Homo-oligomer: A and B are copies of this chain.
Amino acid sequence: MKGTKDYYPEDKRIQNHIFSVWKKIAEKYGYEEVEPPILESADIYKKSGQEIPKQMYTFKDKSNRLLTLRPETTPSIARMVSQKSLPKPIKWYSISTCFRYEAPQSGRSRQFTQFNLDCLGTKSIKADAEVILTAIEIMKSFNLTKKDFYIRISNRKLFQDLLNNLNLKNTQQIARLIDKMDKISKKDLELSLKDLKLSQLQIKNLFKILETKDLEKIKIKSQGLVELKELFTYLKNYNILNYCKLDLSIMRGFDYYTSTVFEVFDTSKEFRAIAGGGRYDELAKDCPGVGYGMGDIVLTLFLEKKKKLPELKKEIDYYVAPINEAVIKQAIKITEKLRQNNNVEIDLMNKNLSKQLEYANSINAKNVVIVGEKDLKNKKITIRDMKTGKEKKVNLTSII
């Protein structure tokens, strides 16, 4: 299947490594794992912006219901919190398979796995800060530093107020253009803004806004500004200000964000956003929320590029090699005894010893237990250390 991937053991080990970092950090911060179903009603993605609904796998089931393979997890999380009365804040994470019908290319796959971390039930900006902190902690756990990544942060309310202040009306269209800023030249952006009937002065002022690096220089009255200032204060308290940049050009394509929006970005600007999220106070009924998603595909490419993926191999403590069928009963006994505390394999193909050693080597076995007839008569077995090649005879009674 074009655009999907078979995870062989070497791929799955890497993916499991990534999953384990996600889990470790989420749980350290008190987030609990949840899992919504993969099949959802198509209508919950109405607020997922322009792009996503176009990329959805939607089909009718045998009862003629319109189903979608989830393209993202936030709408399901919003649905789940609205179905139950839960103590607040609700701190959840999920590691969810998602589907988007995109043209297959580097960094994209039609099936991917997304880590989502969400804090719901509170409007406090403290939650925004904590959520951003977990994203930074995840990146740091992969041994990435501030040379490798940073967080771009904006606020939808502030952006809206700044546009209003310039007397700009068609703010949604402008936002969509700016969302594509990284992909087009400044000149093309300017032309497109002119097409939207912006004056030269408005365009100049808009670019000024997009380049603002210092919150203190913004002088308008805006709830979004208050929120952003509060957020940066908490980020300072958490001592992570050096990972964070104000960037009012951050849009995120989703219509449900209402306030804070942010992206984890590589400093080399080679990849798409590694993670993205924000505050969505209107998505779930009476339950504000803030969170982000981090996909495994771009992250894996990024970690590969930065050489931050550990070398992971199959871990086998003992491979038990029976010399022939006559010793099989004893070999099985030894195997099962060793399995009480170790990962152990035994021959399943009636291979001769040299073929068995070859296989033991291919699976990276630390030791090979050679079970021979002669040895057994003396109540011995031979253990070979596969790293050093050294062999030692061991009393059978010391094992079984």
B37 touches A12 (CB 8 A): no
Considering the chains assembled together, what is the distance between the CA atoms of A1 and B36 in angstroms? 10
Residues 337-355 of A at the B interface (beta carbon under 8 Å): 339, 342-350
Considering the chains assembled together, what is the distance between the CA atoms of A348 and B60 in angstroms? 42
B30 touches A343 (CB 8 A): yes
Considering the chains assembled together, what is the distance between the CA atoms of A133 and B295 in angstroms? 37
Given contacts A12-B35, A239-B336, 6 further A-B pairs with CB under 8 A are A1-B67, A6-B35, A6-B37, A29-B339, A39-B111, A89-B349
Stretch at the interface among A79-87, A152-160, A185-193, A278-286: A79-87
Considering the chains assembled together, what is the distance between the CA atoms of A40 and B314 in angstroms? 27
Partner of A332, one of B33, B61, B237, B345: B237
Instruction: State whether the Cβ of A269 lies closer than 8 Å to any Cβ in chain B.
Output: no
Most buried by B among A7, A110, A127: A7
1/0 per residue, CB under 8 A from B, across A315-350: the answer is 110000000000011001100100100111111111
B9 touches A349 (CB 8 A): no
Instruction: State whether the Cβ of A265 lies closer than 8 Å to any Cβ in chain B.
Output: no
Residues 1-44 of A at the B interface (beta carbon under 8 Å): 1, 4-9, 12-13, 15-16, 27-30, 32-41
Considering the chains assembled together, what is the distance between the CA atoms of A130 and B36 in angstroms? 35
Residues 140-162 of A at the B interface (beta carbon under 8 Å): none
Instruction: State whether the Cβ of A271 lies closer than 8 Å to any Cβ in chain B.
Output: no
Residues 87-128 of A at the B interface (beta carbon under 8 Å): 87-89, 91-92, 97, 99, 101, 110-111, 119, 121-122, 124, 126-127
Q: Chain B nearest CB: distance from A243 CB in Å?
A: 14
B350 touches A124 (CB 8 A): yes
Considering the chains assembled together, what is the distance between the CA atoms of A314 and B316 in angstroms? 32
Considering the chains assembled together, what is the distance between the CA atoms of A32 and B345 in angstroms? 12
Given A39-B1, A92-B9, A348-B127, do A363 and B87 touch, yes or no (CB 8 Å)?
yes
B35 touches A38 (CB 8 A): no
- Least CB separation from A24: chain B residue: B343
Chain B hits for A336, CB < 8 A: 238-239
Instruction: State whether the Cβ of A57 lies closer than 8 Å to any Cβ in chain B.
Output: yes
Instruction: State whether the Cβ of A378 lies closer than 8 Å to any Cβ in chain B.
Output: no
Could you list 29 A-B pairs, sorted by A, with CB under 8 Å? A1-B40, A1-B67, A5-B37, A6-B34, A6-B35, A6-B37, A6-B76, A6-B80, A7-B36, A9-B92, A12-B32, A27-B343, A28-B344, A29-B343, A30-B314, A32-B314, A38-B97, A39-B110, A87-B359, A87-B362, A87-B363, A97-B97, A121-B349, A122-B348, A122-B349, A126-B346, A126-B350, A130-B348, A237-B328
Residues 353-392 of A at the B interface (beta carbon under 8 Å): 359, 362-363
Chain B hits for A60, CB < 8 A: 59
Chain B hits for A127, CB < 8 A: 348
